[in-house]
């Protein structure tokens, strides 16, 4: 089971997206679609034909596979229900962030390759967000890694006190904002919008269709669940198994499910109570969380906790 735990992220990531949409609809007084709707959408897209622009090159065609494979590799590096895994040696959290950045880079490149104005607009906005978010993620990671004495995710998730130190609380808040920004959620982006002038992530994939679009959408769901799992591994490691006994794995699976439901509910509440901000206001939001990340690291260095 420890060898295949990354399949939990790959298989159930669309379900987490469906739960977020369902909870968001309920918070807004709507019935909403089924929590299985993302699966139906992926199946429908895999059955559809693909349409290509005549100006696109090989970059446009290989990007969906690069994005999908990079997210799968990232999922293999994450401890999900146990820290004992054959892939734990390559589970360096810094490498994880830049493997995900590889997919973002090619997706932005493919949007430019299509030669559309909206693709270029979405790519430029995505790069602005990534420039702001990635340093913040690294500072949050350094704060936790210094305490754990390692940047290996499995070692970070080893038994820790559930009582968070002041530096961890600051890093936790900054990391939550980073997740919202990196997954393209309100107030930074609106994943449900169809207005091209406000798109960020959706603006880059307007030219994709069929199986290629399905791979990109599935990769986005996987990336979202990877960040959720990384968050609980670093800040709420309580409940994760440290062996491969079946009883421990079952209990860890239940705790992991509760953590994912809590984060899904948190995202639904944030999206239902906040409005999307203007693009020029995004640096203010992300910049404020960057200050929290800096304060977290400084607090750890100066106070020692």
CA separation (Å) from 51 to 48, 106, 115, 119, 212?
Answer: 10, 19, 15, 16, 10
- 264 or 280: whose pLDDT is higher? 264
Question: Quick one: what percent of the chain has pLDDT higher than 70?
Answer: 93
Q: Can you spell out the DSSP letters for 250-302?
A: HHHHHHHHHHHHHHHHHHHHHHHH--PPPGGGHHHHHHHHHHHHHHHHHHHHH
Residues 123-171: tens digit of each pLDDT:
888 888 888 898 899 899 999 988 888 888 888 887 655 567 889 999 9
What pLDDT score was predicted for residue 243? 81
What pLDDT score was predicted for residue 198? 65
- pTM value is 0.93
**Structural tokens at position 276:** 């999307």
Residues 26-40: tens digit of each pLDDT:
988 898 899 999 999
Cα Rg of the chain, angstroms = 19
Question: Tokens 């298989």 sit at which residue?
Answer: 11
Residue 136 lies in a domain: yes
Residue 159 lies in a domain: yes
Contacts of residue 138, defined as CB under 8 A and 6 or more positions apart, other chains included, come to 94, 97
Q: With bands split at pLDDT 50, 70 and 90, how would you rate the model's confidence at 86?
A: low
User: What is the rounded distance in angstroms from the CA atom of residue 132 to the CA atom of residue 251?
Assistant: 37
What pLDDT score was predicted for residue 192? 72
Residue 187 lies in a domain: yes
Residue 288 lies in a domain: yes
- Counting the structural domains of the chain, the total is 1
- 117 or 60: whose pLDDT is higher? 60
Q: With bands split at pLDDT 50, 70 and 90, how would you rate the model's confidence at 215?
A: very high
Residue 201 lies in a domain: yes
Pair 234, 157: CB distance under 8 Å: yes
- 186 or 73: whose pLDDT is higher? 73
The lowest-confidence range among 101-105, 224-228, 299-303 is 299-303
Task: State the residue range of the domain holding 160.
Answer: 6-303
Residue 1 lies in a domain: no
User: What is the rounded distance in angstroms from the CA atom of residue 276 to the CA atom of residue 257?
Assistant: 29
What pLDDT score was predicted for residue 68? 97
What pLDDT score was predicted for residue 162? 53
């Amino acid at each position: 089971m420890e060898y295949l735990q990354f399949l939990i992220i790959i298989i159930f990531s669309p379900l987490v997206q469906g739960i977020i949409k369902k909870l968001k609809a309920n918070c807004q007084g709507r019935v909403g679609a089924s929590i299985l709707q993302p699966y139906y959408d992926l199946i429908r897209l895999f059955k559809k034909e693909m349409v290509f622009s005549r100006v696109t090159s090989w970059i446009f065609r290989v990007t969906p596979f690069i994005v999908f494979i990079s997210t799968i590799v990232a999922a293999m590096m994450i401890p999900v229900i146990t820290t004992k895994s054959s892939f734990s040696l390559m589970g360096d959290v810094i490498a994880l962030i830049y493997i995900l950045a590889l997919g973002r880079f090619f997706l932005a490149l493919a949007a430019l390759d299509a030669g559309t104005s909206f693709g270029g607009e979405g790519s430029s906005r995505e790069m602005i967000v990534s420039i702001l978010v990635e340093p913040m993620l690294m500072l949050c990671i350094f704060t936790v890694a210094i305490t754990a004495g390692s940047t290996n995710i499995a070692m970070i998730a080893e038994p820790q006190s559930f009582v968070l130190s002041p530096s961890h609380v600051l890093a936790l808040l900054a990391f939550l904002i980073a997740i919202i920004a990196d997954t393209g959620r309100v107030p930074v982006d609106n994943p449900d919008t169809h207005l091209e002038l406000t798109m960020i992530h959706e603006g880059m994939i307007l030219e994709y269709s069929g199986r290629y679009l399905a791979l990109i959408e599935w990769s986005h769901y996987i990336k979202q669940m990877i960040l959720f799992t990384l968050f609980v591994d670093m800040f709420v490691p309580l409940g994760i198994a440290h062996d491969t006994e079946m009883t421990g794995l079952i209990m860890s699976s239940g705790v992991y499910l509760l953590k994912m439901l809590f984060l899904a509910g948190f995202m639904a509440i944030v999206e239902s109570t906040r409005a999307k901000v203007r693009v020029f206001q995004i640096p203010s939001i992300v910049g404020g969380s960057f200050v929290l990340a800096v304060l977290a690291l400084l607090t750890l260095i100066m106070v020692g906790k």
